């Protein structure tokens, strides 16, 4: 991608990020036999108040990116610039203060909340850690946060098992808001919820973004969900971003065959269009991130693959459209399967 310009509107700027996990053998004398290339040289940026949707199938490296940004993993290489400061290199107190501005909502609301604590304690804990007031002030703030996410303040002394999945995810959102962050990384926040509850949580996230000027990195495998929340969409495949563009442009004029395949799985509410649409079924499974294919890493499953795809890795470069980037030798031949949606 062309080098990202620094501006006052830019909140997160990820440059050439790599996250490799060593694979070792041996019980007593361990030695490294390879690396899992979970994230391999990716770049993207998010402006303040905007939402970037990060999509791809399981194993593509989406969650690893989120956890690397919040420094649950230390990056192998590259830069993670948050408000101009490199989160990949800062340590100790500087990292501790920076984490206050970047919070994460995890996929499973059943696993991300400690069942031994009341929801009031779970939401208040980060405020106690950062000494954001007296116990009375923090309790009042906790009750306020419960109201903000659509729960009753009197629930403050109840335990997580007393709530439904959608309510637990609202509690997780309240906890993420406790420190007044600027950036929230939402890792599949609605995939574990019933379909009827997903829209409620998505609408909640959009409302909170408007009220508190939040910036989101929204991770999902479902393009139909991402379309309702994201301003821009980045598509990942096997540790690489293969396409990134404005939301509507990506849906109506994709430039990568993998994006086209994902779009073909998006349900269309019009039964007449749905009946005529040709579903694209990818053959085979996602290759191992320890054995990356030569050339274009998608060529083993791509219906458009030719000899050049097996030999030469395509450059991630600008395509026709507004800030539309893709890595494909034959991007001009890719059409949208849902252009009528």
221-234 pLDDT, tens per residue? 988 889 889 999 99
Q: Give the pLDDT mean for 98-115.
A: 90
- Per domain, the residue ranges of the chain are 10-23+34-101+181-333, 113-175
Q: Which residues contact 246 (CB under 8 A, 6 or more apart)?
A: 231, 232, 233, 321, 322, 323, 324
Please give the share of the chain, as a percent, with pLDDT higher than 90.
64
pLDDT, residue 339, reads 52
- 153: which DSSP letter? G
* 256-288: pLDDT as tens digits: 999 999 988 877 766 666 666 677 778 878 888
CA dihedral 238, 241, 243, 244 (to 10 degrees): 150
Model confidence at 291: pLDDT above 50: yes
Q: Give the pLDDT mean for 103-120.
A: 91
Mean pLDDT of the chain: 89
Distance (Å, whole) CA 161 – CA 129: 25
Please give the share of the chain, as a percent, with pLDDT higher than 70.
93
Predicted model pTM: 0.89
Give residue 8's pLDDT band: very low, low, confident or very high (50, 70, 90): low
Model confidence at 2: pLDDT above 60: no
Distances from the Cα of 279 to the Cαs of 243, 271, 339, in angstroms? 20, 14, 14
- Which 3 state secondary structure label does DSSP give 95? helix
DSSP lists the bridge partners of residue 86 as: 81
Q: Give the pLDDT mean for 229-243.
A: 95
pLDDT, residue 109, reads 83
pLDDT, residue 341, reads 45
pLDDT, residue 273, reads 64
Model confidence at 6: pLDDT above 50: no
Instruction: Give the CATH number of domain 10-23+34-101+181-333.
Output: 3.40.50.300
Q: Give the pLDDT mean for 51-73.
A: 93
Query: Who wins on pLDDT, 143 or 286?
Result: 143
């Amino acid at each position: 991608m062309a080098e990202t310009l620094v501006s006052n509107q830019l909140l997160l700027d990820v440059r050439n990020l790599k996250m490799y996990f060593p694979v070792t053998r041996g019980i007593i004398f361990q030695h490294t036999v390879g690396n899992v290339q979970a994230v391999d040289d990716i770049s993207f940026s998010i402006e303040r108040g905007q939402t970037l949707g990060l999509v791809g199938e399981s194993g593509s490296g989406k969650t690893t990116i989120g956890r690397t940004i919040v420094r649950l993993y230390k990056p192998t290489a590259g830069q993670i610039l948050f408000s101009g400061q490199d989160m990949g290199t800062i340590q100790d107190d500087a990292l501790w203060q920076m984490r206050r501005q970047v919070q994460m909502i995890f996929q499973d609301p059943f696993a991300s909340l400690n069942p031994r604590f009341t929801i009031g304690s779970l939401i208040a804990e980060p405020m106690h850690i950062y000494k954001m007031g007296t116990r009375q002030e923090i309790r009042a703030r906790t009750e306020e946060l419960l109201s903000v996410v659509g729960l009753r303040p009197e629930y403050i002394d109840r335990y997580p098992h007393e709530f439904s999945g959608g309510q637990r995810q609202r509690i997780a959102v309240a906890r993420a808001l406790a420190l007044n962050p600027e950036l929230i990384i939402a890792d599949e926040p609605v995939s574990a919820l019933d379909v009827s509850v997903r829209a409620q949580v998505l609408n909640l996230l959009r409302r909170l973004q408007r009220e508190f000027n939040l910036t989101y990195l929204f991770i999902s495998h479902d393009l139909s969900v991402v379309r309702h929340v994201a301003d821009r969409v980045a598509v990942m495949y096997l540790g690489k971003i293969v396409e990134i563009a404005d939301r509507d442009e990506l849906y109506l004029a994709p430039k990568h065959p993998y994006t086209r395949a994902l779009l073909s799985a998006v349900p269309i509410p019009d039964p007449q269009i749905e009946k005529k649409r040709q579903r694209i079924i990818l053959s085979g499974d996602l290759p191992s991130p320890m054995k990356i294919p030569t050339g274009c890493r998608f060529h083993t499953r791509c219906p458009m693959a030719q000899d050049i795809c097996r030999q030469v890795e395509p450059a991630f470069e600008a395509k026709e459209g507004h800030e539309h980037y893709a890595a494909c030798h034959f991007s001009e031949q890719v059409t949208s399967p849902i252009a009528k949606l």
